[in-house]
Structures are given as structure tokens and as C-alpha cells.
């Protein structure tokens, strides 16, 4: 069964999340700050992290930076309503999603399940193997690997799913709301900024010049697409 790490310095929040997730059969681990979370990750296989942003000793943003140096495990940030800047910063350093306090139990369970499903599929799902090639980008869906000009690229599960969506539909324009619905499988509320951050991450990893992308193009007023024809 999956190991979920809940990292929050407020014990009441931790206890509430444990109640919300108790019926799903997960093994629930606890940490009260980023340092404890990193320590637990060094001793346990963690499949998903629920991470508060504001914590003593090491906050959630600093912990995210350290986590992404060693793991692509999905991270869902726990944020307050007034922490919009911190939400974007968290996504910038590699978080996959966020949930705003106070929590809706159904939403928590759904988002955890969705992120776990994508993460496990990325690590070795049973879907029909496929390889997609556009220009110098190759996505091997059997091995769950991406290369650019023959060099391996490390993507988070969310980044991988966005790229796969594009590569399955070259030259097709997807609005931010459509991308969010397909990848996050959730109502696309506030989706534009979240999707934009992940697109920027993909450009930084896939493009020689992210400011002048060869592949991931924006179609103003409509959305994004991957352009077939680059170097082909």
C-alpha cells in the first residue's frame, strides 16, 4: 500500500487529514517541518507528500527544493486562502498541486488518489506501450522516459502527463482549462496560473531557449500546443 507523508506543524491539521484518508488504506507518516520530512524520506519509501508552506525550522518551499533534488514524488501543498504568492512559488519549485485550507474531505481524497495514480503509472504502469517522437523530443511511455536530442530529461508526474497529452495530439491547441481537466482530472478553477507554471517548467527542461521555444508554443487567447515540424 502507498505511504503518504503529512507535513504540517499544526497537529489538528495532521489529525484531520489522517481522518480524511483513514478509509483508503494508506500508511500515513507525520512530520512537523521540512527537516523532519526529509529525514522520513531518507528512511521510508514515500509515494506522496501533503506539505504545509508555513512551518518552523524548514518551511515547505525550502523543503520542496531539497525534495526535487532527489525525488519526483508528487507533492500537494497545503495553503491558506491568502497565500497566492506562495502557491505560485511552490509550483515554481516543483509542487504538483495545492489544496486550500479549510479542506474539503472529498477534495483531499480525490486529489491524493489522482496524484498517486499518475505517479505509479509513471513508475511502471500497465498501459499499452507507446513511443512518441516530435523533433528531438522522444517520449517512451513503456519505460516512462523522456529524452531531448538523446539526453534524458527528468520530469515530475504532472509535467510528464502534460507533455504526453501534447505529444499524443501534435499541433492541437489545448486551453489551460482543458489541460487542467485532462491532467488534474478536476474542475478547472484557477487553472490558468497553475498550467502556465508547469508549461514554463517543461520549456526550461525541453527547449534550448525557453524564451523562444521550438516545441511548446502559446497560441494567444486560445492555449498551448506542441508543434510538429520542428527539426523534422
Summarize pLDDT for 206-227 with one digit per residue, the tens: 999 999 999 999 999 899 999 8
Looking at residue 71, its pLDDT comes to 86
- Where residue 124 falls among pLDDT bands split at 50, 70, 90? very low
Looking at domain 131-226, does it have CATH number 3.40.50.150?
no
Parts of the chain belonging to CATH 1.10.10.10: 131-226
Top CATH class of 3-122 equals alpha beta
Parts of the chain belonging to CATH 3.40.50.2300: 3-122
- Residue at grid coordinates 488534474: 184
Residue 150 pLDDT exceeds 60: yes
Answer yes or no: pTM beyond 0.75.
no
Separation of alpha carbons 100 and 129, rounded Å: 36
Amino acid at each position: 500500500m502507498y505511504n503518504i507523508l503529512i507535513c504540517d506543524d499544526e497537529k489538528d491539521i495532521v489529525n484531520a487529514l489522517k481522518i480524511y484518508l483513514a478509509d483508503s488504506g494508506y500508511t500515513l507518516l507525520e512530520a512537523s517541518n521540512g527537516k523532519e520530512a526529509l529525514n522520513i524520506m531518507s528512511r521510508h519509501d514515500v509515494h506522496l507528500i501533503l506539505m504545509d508552506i508555513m512551518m518552523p525550522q524548514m518551511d515547505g518551499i525550502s523543503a520542496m527544493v531539497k525534495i526535487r533534488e532527489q525525488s519526483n514524488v508528487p507533492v500537494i501543498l497545503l495553503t491558506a486562502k491568502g497565500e497566492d504568492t506562495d502557491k505560485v512559488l511552490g509550483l515554481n519549485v516543483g509542487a504538483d498541486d495545492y489544496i486550500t485550507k479549510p479542506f474539503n474531505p472529498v477534495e483531499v481524497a480525490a486529489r491524493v488518489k489522482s496524484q498517486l495514480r499518475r505517479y505509479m503509472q509513471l513508475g511502471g504502469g500497465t498501459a499499452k506501450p507507446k513511443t512518441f517522437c516530435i523533433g528531438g523530443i522522444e517520449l517512451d511511455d513503456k519505460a516512462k522516459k523522456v529524452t531531448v536530442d538523446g539526453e534524458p530529461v527528468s520530469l515530475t508526474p504532472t509535467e510528464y502527463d502534460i507533455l504526453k497529452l501534447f505529444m499524443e495530439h501534435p499541433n492541437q491547441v489545448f486551453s489551460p482549462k482543458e489541460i487542467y481537466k485532462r491532467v488534474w482530472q478536476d474542475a478547472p478553477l484557477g487553472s490558468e496560473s497553475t498550467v502556465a507554471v508547469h508549461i514554463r517548467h517543461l520549456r526550461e527542461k525541453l527547449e534550448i531557449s525557453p524564451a523562444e521555444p521550438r516545441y511548446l508554443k502559446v497560441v494567444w487567447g486560445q492555449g498551448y500546443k506542441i508543434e510538429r515540424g520542428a527539426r523534422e
